[in-house]
Structure 1
Amino acid sequence: MAYSKLFSLLPLLSIAVILALHTPMATAQLRAFCANFATFHPNSRYEKNLNTLLGNLSSNTPRNGYSSGFAGKCTDRVYGLALCRGDTTTEECKTCVADATTRIRQLCPNNNGGIVWYDNCLLKYSEDDFFGEIDNVNKFYMQNPVEAKDPKAFMQKTKELLTRLADSAALLKSSYAAESQDIGGSVTEYAMTQCTRDLSGEDCKKCLYDSIAELPQCCGTARVGGRVIGGSCYFRYETYPFYNGAH
């Protein structure tokens, strides 16, 4: 809850709707928020701890696609985590997190908290211990501009698929699930769900269910692709294969 409070004061934190077309730039930065009401002095102990933490996340995350930890003591302690998309290779994960750790310092140079999302990973840090808490504050939408031919049927099938994947992700150690389904008319829909692994299975499911409930806000009457991307979980669906292993 402390983490949610931290980011609730961000000036750009209103949920954004971003039109998104398919792009081959899998490592593209999607969005970032900085906690600009709380700052640290250059060369302070907090900054040194932050640099140590980011270095650890960059080194440790590619091993299994996720890592979390803290550096420092008392008021100078900083907490953070990094998560790679469940279908990324070790090399893709390494590249994404390395870029994220560099970019977050550029975007939030003296901020006590920050979060950055890429197609392949997310990274966040804070002066507050946010582990195990659902981040309901840092969130944004992306959508494909193309409308479905049969909006009602399409969105019903999409919701059913995402719900199945949310149930699966909540039970898996990776907290990641992906699947495709035939939705008729020679159209295949692809989807994935994922949570940060500091969440319990129950909280992962809740986080994803709450995000799925935002489908109308995210994707209008029936976009053929969309994402609700948060600080603790996200989903994506498209009518083209966008994740490794899709067929």
Structure 2
Amino acid sequence: MEITQPTAPTATISTPYSALSPPTITDSASAAPPSARPQTPSTASPSARADQTLQLCRSCVDSAAREVRLSCPNERQGAIWYEFCTLRYSNDPIYQTQTADPTYMLRNTQNVSDGDRFRADRTALVDQLAAQAANGTQLKVGVGSRNFSDLAIYALVQCTPDFSREECQRCLSEASQGYQSYLSQGFRVLNPNCNIRYELSTSTMKLG
């Protein structure tokens, strides 16, 4: 199943909904040489997918941290996405700080036929899960499904745990705008603070 790139920046994947490979890294450092940059402390914000084990999450974050150090040794801020985790770092405050830069999108090139109904069901499901995630305490995640013809739409949404209810809802609402013009059977929106993933399937979606 082919994956195409929407107009927004898109992470690279080798197979449909497989691990992001190679890891997507972005930075917004100045063009000044390392010796001229201020040596201020960096803070990092790791986030693992909520349906994974603690061991897998730690392994993913460790890999992301190593890749960031290798690929961005002198940059002041950046982000990296893997299949099971995200790592963001910056010399600026991160805690409870929302940013949509960068946002990456992945979409399935196969479209549904009943567009109006699909849009309505997709919106209802994601809105329900966004409310579930926003009302979370230690974990801000929502997972669920909604019947669509003889299939079902399965979705997972997640915010970083430092976000308030309102911040999480706002982040997911803004992220959902990325797929509104598409009728794709599957889509992912990856954001430093939140992410949305849905897929149309005949059986329970296995996110692992």
Q: TM-score range by the shorter chain?
A: 0.7 to 0.9
1:41 deviates by: 3.7
Q: Which region of structure 1 is more displaced relative to structure 2, 118-127 or 31-40? A: 31-40
In structure 2, stretches of 5+ residues that fail to align are 1-6
Q: Which of 164, 189, 205 is the aligned partner of 1:228?
A: 189
Moved over 3 A (4+): 17-21, 25-30, 38-42
1:171 aligns with 2:171: no
Check conservation: 2:12, 2:20, Cα contact below 8 A: no
Equivalent residue for 1:22? 16
How far residue 36 of structure 1 moved from its aligned partner, in angstroms, is 3.0
**What percentage of residue pairs aligned between the two structures are identical?**
24
**Is the Cα contact below 8 Å between 2:12 and 2:21 reproduced in 1?**
no
CA distance in 1, matches of 2:10, 2:19: 20
Residue 242 of structure 1 deviates from its aligned partner by: 3.3
Q: 1:110 matched to which residue of 2?
A: 74
C-alpha distance after superposition, 1:196-234 (max 9, x if no partner): 1121111001110111123235xx2x0000011111111
Residue correspondence of structure 1 range 172-191 to structure 2 within 5 A: 172-173=136-137, 174-184=139-149, 186-191=150-155
The count of residues paired between Structure 1 and Structure 2 equals 196
Q: 1:30 to 1:148 in 2, by over 3 A?
A: farther
What CA distance in whole angstroms lies between the structure 1 residues aligned with 2:152 and 2:84?
23
1: CA distance, partners of 2:41 / 2:73: 17
Q: CA–CA distance in 1 between the matches of 2:19 and 2:193? A: 20
The answer to which of 26-35 and 223-232 deviates more is: 26-35
CA-based RMSD = 2.4
Question: How far is the alpha carbon of 1:105 from its aligned partner?
Answer: 1.1
1:158 aligns with 2:158: no
User: More helix by proportion, 1 or 2?
Assistant: 1
Equivalent residue in structure 1 for 2:99, among 116, 135, 144: 135
Match of 2:109 in 1: 145
Q: SS of the counterpart of 1:214?
A: helix
Report if the CA contact (8 A) 2:12-2:22 is conserved: no
TM-score (norm 1): 0.72
TM-score w.r.t. length of structure 2: 0.85
Q: Distance in 2 between matches of 1:18 and 1:111?
A: 20
Match of 2:4 in 1: none
